[in-house]
Amino acid sequence: MMKMMTRVLSSPSSHVSSLKYSPRRVIRASRDHLRAETLKSHQLPSGSSSTSLCSCGRKHFLEAASPTMPFLPICSPNASRSKDVSETFHPQRPDWYKELFAWFLSTGMRSYEAEIAEYKRKLFEKLAGKAETVLEIGVGTGPNLKYFAGNENVCVFGMDPNHKMEKYACESAREAGMKPENFRFMHGVGEAIPLDDDSMDSVVATLVLCSVSDVTQTLNEIKRVLKPGGIFLFIEHVAAKDGSFFRHVQNVLDPIQQVVADGCHLTRNTDLHISAAGFDGGTEINDTAIYSFPWIIRPHVYGAAYK
Ligand SMILES: C[S@@+](CC[C@H](N)C(=O)[O-])C[C@H]1O[C@@H](n2cnc3c(N)ncnc32)[C@H](O)[C@@H]1O
């Protein structure tokens, strides 16, 4: 049933460091400071939107279309005069859309989670006894938190721009048997992670790099917050092979997918982005196919990259 191929791009030279968790230095400066820094690094005038050009090189469908199609589930970029840094990278949506998407993830992913469970179990084993501080970007409803069960020392920061995910993620942490002090939900985006440099033993992303506005910036941020020797775990759906029938269909359906699935792209070569990100300790990328998803989301990559 499953096609599996491993590409070891370079051998990990080191593993997760076991430096001690220091909560005081983890949460960084104020949002205003972050926004100023982020805008500066993107050379944007204050108040302008950085998401007009997507990292796939195309104008972002939702934002491009919203002025002419007001029924789309996206607020006008000018809706709020004081957009925070998350809104710079994650288009604003109405509350009903955020709630609906969170509800869909909490109820509609059960067969996917059952199929992917064995991959996740093996991947998360890499963290056993090594990672005390973990950042999960795009934590969503928290389907990965159960893989930390049994690790009493782990402290997981679950970050997501959709605050409607919080109640589901906290419930998942509780169901996984995590102590309340071992899970913290944070509002934020992968492109501007509000954590210190070299502060995390591990960063986790599952089905997220398809949705961020800027994959390269997100990977740079992941490298920045990882401690030397830290490990990035990922599972992502990716574009089908160039020129294939599946790929043509993905190209056609991609704009619709962005509307119905909160900016998710069907045609990202996320594996190439991860390979190109330059993780010093090496990158392992595996290909597989997941059958419980609609076939346009079937091709997956998963693996680990070491700082
Ligand atoms: C398809 S869901 C996956 C959620 C969860 N990781 C999982 O495996 O079920 C994508 C998640 O990424 C979040 N997201 C979207 N844009 C993001 C960004 N720029 N940075 C971080 N997370 C983002 C969404 O709010 C959503 O929770």
Digit-coded pLDDT (tens) for 28-79: 433 333 333 333 333 323 333 333 334 444 434 334 434 333 333 333 333 3
Q: Domain 5-17+28-306: give its CATH architecture.
A: 3-Layer(aba) Sandwich (3.40)
Q: Is the pLDDT of residue 23 over 50?
A: no
Contact 159/136 with Cβ under 8 angstroms?
yes
Q: How many CA atoms lie within 13 A of 120 on its CB side?
A: 19
Give the residue whose CA is nearest to atom 12 of ligand 1: 138
Does the CB atom of residue 101 touch ligand 1 within 6 A?
no
Predicted confidence at residue 86, as pLDDT, reads 75
- The three-state secondary structure class of 130 is coil
- Structure tokens belonging to residue 82: 């004081």
- Count of other CB atoms within 10 angstroms of residue 250: 22
Q: What distance in angstroms lies between residue 27's CA and the mean position of ligand 1's atoms?
A: 20
pLDDT in tens, 221-278: 999 999 999 999 999 999 999 999 999 999 999 999 999 999 999 999 999 999 999 9
> Percentage of the chain with pLDDT > 70?
73
Atom of ligand 1 nearest to the CA of 86: 19
The C-alpha atoms of residue 24 and residue 27 are separated, in whole angstroms, by: 7
Q: Tokens 């993905």 — which residue?
A: 250
Predicted confidence at residue 218, as pLDDT, reads 98
The C-alpha atoms of residue 292 and residue 253 are separated, in whole angstroms, by: 19
Confidence of residue 85 (pLDDT cuts 50, 70, 90): confident
Contact 88/38 with Cβ under 8 angstroms?
yes
**Edge-to-edge strands, sheet with 133-137:** 5-8, 282-289, 299-306, 226-237, 200-206, 133-137, 155-160, 183-187
Does the CB atom of residue 214 touch ligand 1 within 6 A?
no
Q: 242 burial class (0-12, 13-18, 19+ CB within 10 angstroms)?
A: exposed
Q: Ligand 1, residues 109, 193, 208, 257: which to mutate, most atoms within 8 A of Cβ? A: 208
pLDDT in tens, 275-302: 999 999 999 999 999 998 788 899 999 9
Predicted confidence at residue 150, as pLDDT, reads 78
Q: Please state the domain extents for the chain.
A: 5-17+28-306
Angle CA 78–217–96, to nearest 5: 40
Q: What distance in angstroms lies between residue 256's CA and the mean position of ligand 1's atoms?
A: 17
The C-alpha atoms of residue 256 and residue 162 are separated, in whole angstroms, by: 20
Q: What distance in angstroms lies between residue 138's CA and the mean position of ligand 1's atoms?
A: 3
pLDDT in tens, 178-190: 999 999 999 999 9
Name which of 62-66, 126-130, 190-194 the model is least confident about.
Answer: 62-66
Q: What is the mean pLDDT of the chain?
A: 79
Q: Is the pLDDT of residue 97 over 90?
A: yes
| Cβ partners under 8 Å of residue 5, min gap 6 | 286, 287, 288
Does the CB atom of residue 161 touch ligand 1 within 6 A?
yes
